[in-house]
Amino acid sequence: MANPVTLSYSRAIAERLTGHPIWRKPPGWQWSKRCASSSREPRSSALPPGLAQTIDPYAGLNLPGRDLTVAAEAIMPGRSSQVRTRGKQMPMSFAGRFSGRSAVITGGASGIGLAVAQRIVDEGGRVSVWDRDPTQIEQAKTVVPGLHGVTVDVADAAGVDIAAARTIEALGGVDILVTSAAITGPNMTTWSYSAEDWQRVIDININGVFYCNKALVPHMLDRNYGRIVNIASIAGKEGNPNASAYSTSKAAVIGLTKSLGKELAKTKVTVNCVTPAAVRTAIFKQMRQEHIDFMLSKIPMARFGEVEEVAALICWIASEECSFTTAAVFDVSGGRATY
Ligand X SMILES: NC(=O)c1ccc[n+]([C@@H]2O[C@H](COP(=O)([O-])OP(=O)(O)OC[C@H]3O[C@@H](n4cnc5c(N)ncnc54)[C@H](O)[C@@H]3O)[C@@H](O)[C@H]2O)c1
CB of 153 to ligand X, least distance (A): 4
Catalytic residue among 58, 225, 246, 339: 246
CB of 325 to ligand X, least distance (A): 20
Closer residue to ligand X, CB minimum distance, 41 or 222: 41
Closer residue to ligand X, CB minimum distance, 4 or 149: 149
Look up residue 48 and give its DSSP letter.
Answer: P
Residue nearest to ligand X (CB): 111
Closer residue to ligand X, CB minimum distance, 204 or 327: 204
Q: Where are the beta strands (DSSP E) in 11-75?
A: none
B/e letters for 78-94, b = 16+ CB within 10 Å, e = fewer, are: ebbebbbbbbeebebeb
Polymer length of the chain: 339
CB of 276 to ligand X, least distance (A): 4
CA 300 to mean position of chain CA atoms: 23
Give residues with Cβ within 8 angstroms of 64, minimum separation 6: 70, 71, 74
Edge-to-edge strand ranges of the sheet holding 328-332: 148-151, 126-131, 102-106, 176-179, 226-231, 269-276, 328-332
Q: Where are the beta strands (DSSP E) in the chain?
A: 102-106, 126-131, 148-151, 176-179, 226-231, 269-276, 328-332
Look up residue 160 and give its DSSP letter.
Answer: H
Is 151 in contact with 132 (CB distance < 8 Å)?
Answer: yes
Q: Determine the Cα–Cα distance for residues 206 and 329; give it in Å rounded to an integer.
A: 16
Look up residue 108 and give its DSSP letter.
Answer: T
Closer residue to ligand X, CB minimum distance, 97 or 132: 132
Closer residue to ligand X, CB minimum distance, 113 or 261: 113
Give residues with Cβ within 8 angstroms of 142, minimum separation 6: none
Neighbouring CB atoms inside 10 A of 39's CB total 11
Closer residue to ligand X, CB minimum distance, 155 or 271: 155
CB of 267 to ligand X, least distance (A): 25
Is 9 catalytic? The answer is no
CB of 55 to ligand X, least distance (A): 32
Residues that bind ligand X (CB under 6 A): 106-107, 109-113, 131-133, 136, 153-155, 180-183, 204, 208, 231, 233, 276, 278-279, 281-283
Annotated catalytic residues are 246
